[in-house]
Structure 1
């Protein structure tokens, strides 16, 4: 489609070049001089959409007419390339009291063309058409986009191409070129290859548009930089405090066959290992298998297990509803068969990730628990696949967790038939009998009718942690609710936060204080974060980061999902395939 559009654009240009304008009495000497033959005493300019001939704008204001005419008088001559670059095409009619001349404008501002921002074409005789370069500002003036510039705040506009690995930046003011160069050098980070190996070129097309081309980006490589410190020529900052995402540039170079994968990355930013699958991943769940069937599970052991900070095992849920069990320490993976195949054609039988079976987070060699079709709770005998229905939920299931002794199953179900943000907690014994119910025990803000996975976990045999996110009534946005079953009490607490020193380091790359939304903050495991100052962080805007306050080092891990620490030195992130997303369904806190 892109190629066809390009060819049509080329044809439109040359059809016009072969045609004659109305009352074309321009002297050949003027055409040959290289100066655009501006009509005298212009009374109006009418802009038409090229494809539909719809009138977009008519200009009669004399000041605007004079400004546009002066821009054409200064326009340098250009050539007509083969192939001619294809942008957005307009037909413009310049009229005075006696004549009308028709021209074509090729708006190339949104393309990656780093030679010119636009062209205007003059029809000629015997197929000898002419072309002139026009600037970003001139096109803005022509289309009426310059009218609000004097009252509007300084703004930057970015477009990207993962075909040419280019970033195009436009401004509504003339930019200070030195500030652009310094900003790019200071904030540019890369994931997937060493920064010193990255080759890029900054092309200035005109004072309001530049193109950055990254010539040697490898597959599965991403770049990130900010535009906040760019200044206009008059000294105005382009930093946008209310909409900081406007000044973020994130470009990924991925081949069309790229699949999702897990990456183990060291604190020295070295790729330790990478693992991909035949089917892309959708969800990743931290789990705690109990290796020995009769292994005693004490509260002390469970606390030590959770407080270690590093991952035990991982379930990877794939797009074809299969499961892979991964050992984070070694990367070893095995297929995991849940032995369930309930009818999944009913409403909410598959959640909004396309997954119909959720596994309990604890199991041993003999027994596992699962929520199938987001309604039925089963106990599964793993060796023979026999499964016993324990419970049928009255409303869709948001989450499931198994107690450390494997004797109880907790589920979160929608609090009402609208499947809204509130969830009820139900605790079942080994026979499937309800032994504890707490209404509206968990909360994740979302619109009604969406069945997401709510992460949950038993801290010990008497305590369950559930999510409490964006409720509005708390002093924090992201946090948890800890439910004490024996005491029938609930304690709400915020998720871990970055200390000030680490926040300042991250803010230099994410747009300043408050610009980044922190989804997860994971201190380095082993209780050494106070000495080493290492944190793994995920933001909603740019993905995952490693921060070390002892060395003042910030490493960008790409637009990835943070899974957790594999050990004290390695972080695991999930990199989605092209146009895919991966969600972590573990709980923090």
Structure 2
């Protein structure tokens, strides 16, 4: 299912939707239509002449009602078999919390238009998904599409939008919720004090570093924006390291200047100024080296040069075109890189048949490099993922798999936008939640954030 953002008048959305009989499921239909505000929408169909040769299509809009509540509007170019749609919803429904009842009302406005009114507790952190592929027209034709496997899938999210970190045991079912902050960028951060990660929630005025196990948060003020800073496409002028040490860390300001930041007094010391935009940075486990990727070309292109600096900002090592990610020129977003140990870096590269993970292991001592492989990605896993996603190629999903500590489970963000977990022993898939996938804790619980529809993790 494809969505495109839209803002339209509520009266226009509801025109033509009055005067028809309504059939209710798990509730009764209200007598009047509320104003609504769309959150995501597909193109509204015209009214084509009925034709037995016409492909059956569903057009799905997800709407938030002004004042509270949600609607899913389903329109068709051909009369819908009502019972089949109701059964398709019931059969395919998966929720993040099976103990919480999913209540809804089906309101049929016409044989081609139904509103699914959701009765959700917006104070809860809840999400679910269903698929209407098995619905059929009155003459028995399915709405499923092999070319667009996600087009009839709906992902629903309740919650008040305040933001939460969630931790769930995949086998135990235990669940923990930690209050968090709305943000457009969450960065996993390693510390020496804990084997469990912390998560840095970026903000325009303040950042918050939240410890995953304790929920304790460190508030980090935003520094003044760098003079002559480079613009970027992710919205924040500071880029912190993926490691925080006992009382300091490193930060790039304005995609150009490297600083050491004191985490007690929040003062900064300038270490180095780069003459080209910075794409990404990471600091070594021993804190003595900082790796930085900068644009290779004068313009912002796909190639990136590597510079390794010491604690004082002195250049120790450099390599041209050490990393490469295909993208349109002019778009500056973060390139992920990380220290595997105090000598080796994991650098990004384009995925292909020889480099399915899109990663290079680079030795900063002798400059040797090798393609990263993952023996956990087996042929059965690839086949199961192909059938589950109904896509012949899933290279992006495979390269982004997050493995549990015992390597039994692989979590990933499905093409539908939902977080799924694959069990390598049972060869099954489980819906976990909507949200931003973060990773696994040492105890085997899975972490994700319920923040916004679009959050970068890099």
TM-score (norm 1): 0.64
Kept after mapping to 2: 8 A contact 1:162/1:252: no
Indicate whether 1:186 and 2:91 are aligned: yes
Is the Cα–Cα contact under 8 Å of residues 542 and 558 in structure 1 kept in the other structure?
Answer: no
Q: Tell me the residue number matched to 2:128.
A: 223
* Cα deviation 1:467-513 (Å, max 9, x = unaligned): 2245xx55556521211223322223367876566677777875576
For residues 562 and 174 of structure 1, do their structure 2 counterparts lie closer, same or farther at Cα, with a shift above 3 Å needed?
same
Q: 1:502·1:548 contact (CA, 8 Å) conserved in 2? A: no
CA distance in 2, matches of 1:523, 1:413: 30
Which is higher, the Rg of structure 1 or of structure 2? 1
CA drift at 1:524: 1.3
Q: 1:514 to 1:151 in 2, by over 3 A?
A: farther
1:159 pairs, out of 49, 53, 61, with: 61
Aligned equivalents of 1:144 and 1:365: distance in 2?
62
- Is 1:584 paired with 2:454? no
User: How much does 1:342 deviate?
Assistant: 4.7
Inter-CA distance 415–215: structure 2 relative to 1 (3 Å threshold): same
Q: Give the 3-state SS of the residue equivalent to 1:405 in structure 2.
A: coil
Structure 2 unaligned blocks of 5 or more: 1-6, 24-44
* Structure 1 residues 213 and 383: alpha-carbon distance in aligned structure 2, compared to 1, 3 A threshold: closer
Does residue 200 (structure 1) correspond to residue 82 (structure 2)? The answer is no
CA contact (8 A) 1:264 1:571 kept: yes
Residue in structure 1 matched with residue 361 of structure 2 by the alignment: 482
Matched, 1:394 2:271: no
SS for the counterpart of 1:285 is strand
Deviations 1:405-436 (A, max 9, x none): 22211101112232122211111123323222
Question: Does residue 1:334 correspond to 2:222, yes or no?
Answer: no
Q: Which runs of 5+ in 1 are unaligned?
A: 10-85, 89-106, 117-142, 292-304
Task: Find the residue that maps to 2:243 and give its secondary structure.
Answer: coil
Tell me, yes or no, if the aligned pair for 1:479 and 1:495 is still in contact at 8 Å: no
Q: Deviations over 1:87-124 (max 9, x none)?
A: 44xxxxxxxxxxxxxxxxxx22xx898739xxxxxxxx
Separation of aligned partners in 1, 2:95 and 2:19: 21
Relative distance call for 1:517 and 1:181 in structure 2 (3 A) is farther
* Mapping of residues 126-141 of structure 1, within 5 Å: none
- Kindly state the Cα deviation for residue 4 of structure 1 after the two structures are TM-superposed: 8.2
Instruction: For 2:90 and 2:384, locate their aligned partners in 1 and report how far apart those are by CA, in whole Å.
Output: 16
Distance in 1, Cα, partners of 2:51 & 2:396: 30
Q: Which residue of 1 aligns with 2:422?
A: 547
Pick closer, same or farther for the CA change 1:254–1:353 going to 2, 3 Å: same
CA contact (8 A) 1:202 1:211 kept: yes
Q: Measure the CA separation in 1 of the matches of 2:235 and 2:375.
A: 30
Q: 1:429 to 1:569 in 2, by over 3 A?
A: closer
TM-score, scaled to structure 2: 0.80
CA separation in 1, counterparts of 2:286 and 2:395? 40
Secondary structure of the corresponding residue to residue 433 of structure 2:
coil
In 1: Cα distance, 2:19 partner to 2:297 partner: 51
Deviations 1:322-364 (A, max 9, x none): 2222222222222245xx7354353525x32221222222343
Aligned to 1:408: 289
| Distance change >3 Å, CA 462–CA 516, structure 1 → 2 | closer
CA positional deviation for 1:276: 1.9
Q: Does 1:348 align with 2:253?
A: no
| 1:315 matches 2:200 | yes
Distance in 2 between residues matched to 1:558 and 1:569, nearest whole Å: 17
Structure 1 residues 211, 507: CA separation in 2 closer, same or farther (over 3 Å shift)?
farther
The structure-2 alpha-carbon separation of the partners of 1:214 and 1:233, relative to structure 1 and needing over 3 Å to count, comes to same
Structure 1 contact 261–281 (Cα < 8 Å) conserved? no
Contact map agreement 2:80 2:137 (CA 8 A) in 1: yes
1:406 partner SS: coil
Q: What is the alpha-carbon distance in structure 1 between the residues aligned to residue 8 and residue 251 of structure 2?
A: 49
Q: Give how far 1:367 is off.
A: 3.8
> Would the aligned equivalents of 1:282 and 1:319 in 2 still touch at CA under 8 Å?
no
Alignment partners' CA distance in 2, 1:223 and 1:260: 17
- What is the CA distance between 1:463 and its match in structure 2? 0.7
d(CA) in 1 for partners of 2:85 and 2:374? 37
Aligned pairs for 1:67-78 (under 5 A) are none
Match 1:560 to one of 435, 438, 441: 435
For 1:365, the equivalent position in structure 2 comes to: 246
* Match of residue 234 from structure 1: 139
Alignment partner of 2:400: what SS?
strand
Deviation, structure 1 residue 397: 0.8
**Structure 2 counterpart SS, 1:288:** strand
Shift of 1:174: 3.4
Change in 2 beyond 3 A, CA 1:425/1:517: closer
1 CA distance for matches of 2:256 and 2:384?
45
Aligned length: 425
Find the aligned partners of 2:46 and 2:8 in 1 and give their Cα distance: 30
* CA distance 1:480–1:168, change in 2 (3 Å): same
Tell me how far 1:393 sits from its aligned partner. 0.7
Whether 1:260 and 2:140 are equivalent positions in the alignment is no
Judged with a 3 Å threshold, the aligned counterparts in structure 2 of structure 1 residues 501 and 468 are, in CA distance, closer, same or farther, namely: same
1:572 shift after superposition: 1.1
Distance in 1 between residues matched to 2:56 and 2:165, nearest whole Å:
40
Asked whether the equivalents of residues 20 and 110 of structure 2 are also in contact (C-alpha less than 8 Å), the reply is: no
| Structure 1 CA distance for aligned equivalents of residues 451 and 296 of structure 2 | 32
